[in-house]
Chain A
Amino acid sequence: MLVPYKWLAEYVPGLPLPGDVAEALTSSGTACESLIGEGEDTVFDFEITHDRADCLNVFGIAREAAATLGLELKHPGLVVKEEGPAIDGLATVKIISEDLCKRYVARVVTEVNIGPSPGWMQKRLISCGIRPVNNVVDITNYVMLELGQPLHAFDLDRIRDSTIVVRRARSGESMTTIDGEPRELSGDMLVISNATSPVAIAGVMGGADTEVEESTTQVLLEAAAFDSVSVWRTSRRLKMRTEASMRFSRGVWPENARLGIDRAAALMAELKVGKVAVGRIDEYPGLETPVHIRLRPARVNRLLGIDIDQNEMKSILMRLGFILDEWNEDSCRVLVPNHRMDVRQEEDLVEEIARIYGYDKIPHTIPKGAPPEIRLNPVRRLESKVGEILRGSGLTEVDTMTFTSEAACSELRLPEKDIERYKVQISNPISSEHTMLRTTLFVSLVDVLARNASRQRDDVAIYEAGKVFRRRYVEEVKKESGREANLPDERKMIGLALMGKLEEPTWTNQTPDVDFFHMKGIIERLLESLGISRYRFEKMVHPTLHPGRAARLVIDSKDIGCFGELHPTVSEILGLSKRAYLAELDLEKLLLSMPGDLEVKPLPRFPAVSRDIAVIVEEDIESGRVEDRIWEAGAGLVERVNLFDVYVGPQVPPGHKSLAYSITYRSLDRTLTDEEVGAVHARIVENLAQGVGASIRSQD
């Protein structure tokens, strides 16, 4: 909020220089964001916290400045020179919706001469960011800036029957506001009406029909206390945020209405705008009992961790306008001034005392109690370990937004019905690209690939540990009870993406672009580094992946995730020039698959024997099946099976391939003899022939 220094100084005689004022107010809670201009002409820009609606005006800031700096506070002039007829015969006010209007005060000014307001007033309005209009409107705005009371001026002659009715709008009612826009009203909006139809949207904006104009001769001034929630809802619904609606939304206290209207009337008379009619109409159905708070000085000190003298507490509260009804050592009764709508309980007074005493004077302490036993967060630890392993494999961490859209999911070829079934949709999105939460990390990963590719960065190896979200089935929700059941399923996943080269080419050799087996190898290395050995890969079909190059990772018959080559159609849509590979693994399931503490095995005491074998099998026999047959017949003596060559070509029959393995044999309790190894090896050969129809190409 903009506050000119000179205006502020009018209420606080002896106000220090602007820089000092800014610093003092900032440290007592009225943060000065910046100082515009210099010296006497300085304008402060204050950030008013949401609870301090009483500070959304120059006098409110003056009150804070006086309390903070220990200076005297001077009130604006409220003596009204009344010289017109009595108001009673000029207008009537009736509040029907008393729940939404705590108070409505009106005054009438007759023999009005519309013209410009004086230069000094216009200057102040402009420096506070408000455009001058005419003397009547400018005075209402000036008083709003000065005291925080929004005012409205009606052309009284244009209010039918000179009757003001404060009521809820009737459904179907509409009116044109002074900005020329037609407004449809609904039954929960509060309006100011004449005898029959609305002339203003209460607390938001007046109507064009009753606007003060050149020809206006009689003005009805309104100062009211409308319900903050009601004004807030109406202004949100109509998308009309005005200076008045902003203040009403944050709270205008009923007592201020009378000060505001008298101040405006005093200025009308003083600036000879017209003659102020005698008296005011004051409908006050919402008169509230004053707020008293019990304060225990010992509790103040206990919560702050300090020992402030009781007299100092007293003096601080009095400076802030609190009235001390009773003051005892143990328990006091404090009356809250009506503008402090934010102070309702003892803790609020604790803050009042602390902020004026000075936050900086409160000593730093460390909580006295013993810290609780720390439980390490296992998911977080795994996340960190997985990150280390993947970075060691050359993958760079990314952090993406969790949003996506139906269109982006469709680009990944995800079936329409799955998107619909699982999507967690945002009801008020602000961008067409961010309409739902992602159901898979794939959407975010390909987004990163595409962005990098579009910037000529074609070699990308990335990972992310992030959440995916799925709406739960209706049946699932029914099974659980409570509100929690309506929350979606959130899973933390590890996503990987590779594109282009993983290793930089060097001057001695060109490195190949990554392929399916780079991705698979990185996953295998990850599993190995996590101590997981009982895993399997199964061929699968995934809409986003190449149908012949996709696999599922299975551990203990649980589906942990999948990986494969990005489907060429998707790759083309994304504009990728190199092949990309994606993987997504469920972090929590991985955690459950991890073994306990590592146990060291004794070092091998007996030598290993290595034999190579090349087998010819039909082309569609998977290497995994061949390996299974080797292990099966290994009689516990096979230590390692390593595929070192896959060959298809003139030396094997058409429709066949040759797979060459190096098999390492070892016994833990003896040196194997040639005969023993030979026997096992022969059994393996036989098992291969029987199990997968393999014939031996060569062996050593």
Chain B
Amino acid sequence: MDEKTKKFVSDAKKSIESAMSLPDLEEIRVKYLGKRGEITQALRSLGKYSEDERPKIGRLLNEARETVREMIEARRVEISAIDLENKLKAEEVDITLPGKRPSIGTRHPVSVVYEELERVFARLGFEVLEGPDVELDYNNFEALNVPKNHPSRDIQDTFYITDDIVLRTHTTCVDIRIMKNRKPPIRAIIPGKVYRSDASDPSHLPVFHQLDGLVVDEGITFGDVKGVLARFAHEFFGPDTDVRFRPSYFPFTEPSAEMDVSCVICNGAGCRVCKNTGWLEILGSGLLHPRVLREVGFDPEEISGLAFGMGIDRVTMLKYGIDDIRLLAENDMAFNRQFIHA
């Protein structure tokens, strides 16, 4: 019997080693260990042996069964590993094939800049307020110290709806609405579309974008105009940006200043964009004119205010190196889609 069990084990070993797939292996398992398997059968027929032999043969057969089971299990692990390896090999892809991208939209560059500006000014305590595009001549001009039928109307070419209603030429008109409806302290920025009767060319559009700013409180100074705007310039254009304030004229501010920043293209060395001056004109600003303060019911002896305004299209063009403002209004997908990471 010893011989027989040894043969079971050696035969099984041979066929297990040569088994190449899990079904082959299962067949072998059934052959030896299944219900009608050879070892199972041998164990069942132990009764034909004598009482003396039975324990020994039983032990041998049980050992053989365990050995075969272990060999099958070991082989199963091996075959599974090979199968997995083959499967993985078969599933290999050309990783240079293009990916399947979900479609995603892009932002318009002007909104990117607006949002960035809103963030910068929010940190300085400014809230965002808006007003109508179609505005009373009174808010757009008269209350801002530009009388009707006055040569100073030439400063801004204006679209008129009626004699008393205009397409706003700046969002500064919203300053009047805000000051008439609120008490100081006021800190607001006013984004929006503005209109000038200019024909379209590489640097003009009849509709463009502006951001105005307004601070009204007791004791606002010209130093505050400079401080707030320099802070904006450093946060928006970068900490190394130089700023320069030049006297200028706006009917609604006195004193008035134009702010230049060191050219973002050449860092002040001089280039085509800054016309070799090293400086870029960015915004107009100043302390609110006493006539404007009085018009909205504030006493210039007690309340002072600062205002500033900048063209967003120009800032956008500088930021992204755009040389024709009309690209901002055309919405050619070949242009707009470039701002995917803006």
Please give the residue numbers on chain A whose beta carbons come within 8 Å of chain B beta carbons, in ascending order. 26-29, 31, 33-34, 49-52, 228-229, 232-233, 249-251, 302-306, 342, 345, 347-348, 350-351, 354-355, 359-360, 362-372, 374-377, 379-380, 384, 387, 390-403, 424-431, 434, 437, 448, 451-452, 455, 457, 460-463, 467, 469, 483-484, 486-488, 490, 502-504, 506-508
- In-complex Cβ contact of B100 among A250, A351, A508 (8 A): A508
Evaluate contact between B334 and A387: CB separation under 8 angstroms: no
Evaluate contact between B155 and A229: CB separation under 8 angstroms: no
Evaluate contact between A487 and B135: CB separation under 8 angstroms: yes
Evaluate contact between B103 and A503: CB separation under 8 angstroms: yes
Evaluate contact between A367 and B217: CB separation under 8 angstroms: yes
Q: Which of B30-38, B50-58, B73-81, B251-259 contacts A (4 or more CB under 8 A)?
A: B251-259
Chain B residues near A303 (CB-CB < 8 A): 221-222, 255, 287, 304
New contact pairs (12) apart from A29-B246, A351-B247, A487-B165, CB-CB < 8 Å: A33-B275, A233-B149, A303-B255, A354-B255, A360-B244, A366-B231, A369-B217, A401-B206, A426-B159, A451-B331, A457-B332, A503-B103
- Determine whether B98 belongs to the interface, using a CB cutoff of 8 Å to chain A: yes
Output the least CB separation between B94 and chain A (Å).
Answer: 10
Chain A residue, CB-CB nearest to B218 = A369
- Determine whether B230 belongs to the interface, using a CB cutoff of 8 Å to chain A: yes
Evaluate contact between B151 and A249: CB separation under 8 angstroms: yes
Evaluate contact between A367 and B130: CB separation under 8 angstroms: no
Given contacts A360-B244, A399-B331, A487-B136, is CB(A392)–CB(B104) below 8 Å? Answer: yes
Evaluate contact between B105 and A451: CB separation under 8 angstroms: no
Evaluate contact between A368 and B106: CB separation under 8 angstroms: no
Evaluate contact between A396 and B165: CB separation under 8 angstroms: no
* A355→B215 CA distance, assembly (Å): 22
Given contacts A469-B134, A490-B132, is CB(A451)–CB(B111) below 8 Å? Answer: no
Evaluate contact between B134 and A490: CB separation under 8 angstroms: yes
- Determine whether B170 belongs to the interface, using a CB cutoff of 8 Å to chain A: no
Chain A residue, CB-CB nearest to B290 = A347
- List 24 contacting pairs A-B, 8 Å CB cutoff, sorted by A: A52-B249, A229-B149, A302-B219, A304-B222, A342-B249, A351-B255, A355-B247, A359-B247, A363-B227, A364-B226, A369-B218, A374-B125, A391-B106, A393-B105, A396-B106, A398-B336, A399-B329, A403-B207, A427-B159, A430-B197, A452-B332, A486-B164, A490-B132, A504-B103
Most chain B CB within 10 A, of A369, A402, A437, is at: A369
If over half of B's interface residues share one DSSP class (helix, strand or loop), that class is named, otherwise mixed; here it is: mixed
- In-complex Cβ contact of A401 among B105, B290, B329 (8 A): B329
* A426→B207 CA distance, assembly (Å): 13
Chain A residue, CB-CB nearest to B125 = A371
Evaluate contact between A452 and B133: CB separation under 8 angstroms: no
- In-complex Cβ contact of B136 among A355, A377, A425, A483 (8 A): A483
Evaluate contact between B129 and A377: CB separation under 8 angstroms: yes
Evaluate contact between B154 and A377: CB separation under 8 angstroms: no
Please give the residue numbers on chain B whose beta carbons come within 8 Å of chain A beta carbons, in ascending order. 97-98, 100-108, 110-111, 115, 118, 122, 124-130, 132-136, 138, 149-152, 154-155, 159-162, 164-165, 167, 185-187, 193, 197-199, 205-207, 215, 217-224, 226-228, 230-231, 244-249, 254-258, 275, 287, 289-290, 300, 304, 328-334, 336-337
Output the least CB separation between B260 and chain A (Å).
Answer: 9
Chain B residues near A49 (CB-CB < 8 A): 248-249
Chain A residues near B185 (CB-CB < 8 A): 369-372
- In-complex Cβ contact of B128 among A380, A398, A425, A455 (8 A): A380
Chain A residues near B98 (CB-CB < 8 A): 506-507
Chain A residues near B118 (CB-CB < 8 A): 380
Evaluate contact between A426 and B167: CB separation under 8 angstroms: yes
Chain A residues near B104 (CB-CB < 8 A): 391-392, 394
Evaluate contact between B105 and A463: CB separation under 8 angstroms: yes
* A430→B337 CA distance, assembly (Å): 31
Evaluate contact between A397 and B130: CB separation under 8 angstroms: no
Chain B residue, CB-CB nearest to A383 = B111
Chain A residue, CB-CB nearest to B136 = A483
Evaluate contact between B125 and A232: CB separation under 8 angstroms: no
Chain A residue, CB-CB nearest to B115 = A384
Given contacts A249-B151, A350-B255, A355-B247, is CB(A397)–CB(B290) below 8 Å? Answer: no
Chain A residues near B102 (CB-CB < 8 A): 394, 503
Chain A residues near B149 (CB-CB < 8 A): 229, 233
- In-complex Cβ contact of B331 among A31, A233, A398, A403 (8 A): A398
Chain B residue, CB-CB nearest to A396 = B105
- In-complex Cβ contact of A486 among B165, B220, B245, B255 (8 A): B165
Most chain A CB within 10 A, of B151, B220, B254, is at: B151
Given contacts A347-B290, A427-B160, A488-B134, is CB(A396)–CB(B122) below 8 Å? Answer: no
Output the least CB separation between A644 and chain B (Å).
Answer: 22
Chain A residue, CB-CB nearest to B186 = A372
* A365→B231 CA distance, assembly (Å): 10
Chain B residues near A506 (CB-CB < 8 A): 98, 100
Chain B residue, CB-CB nearest to A371 = B125
Most chain B CB within 10 A, of A401, A425, A488, is at: A401
- In-complex Cβ contact of B333 among A365, A387, A460 (8 A): A460
Chain B residue, CB-CB nearest to A306 = B223
Given contacts A399-B329, A401-B206, A437-B134, is CB(A351)–CB(B103) below 8 Å? Answer: no
Evaluate contact between A397 and B108: CB separation under 8 angstroms: yes
* A460→B164 CA distance, assembly (Å): 41
Evaluate contact between A347 and B227: CB separation under 8 angstroms: no
Most chain A CB within 10 A, of B100, B161, B167, is at: B161
Evaluate contact between A232 and B151: CB separation under 8 angstroms: yes
Chain A residues near B134 (CB-CB < 8 A): 424, 437, 469, 487-488, 490
Evaluate contact between B108 and A399: CB separation under 8 angstroms: yes
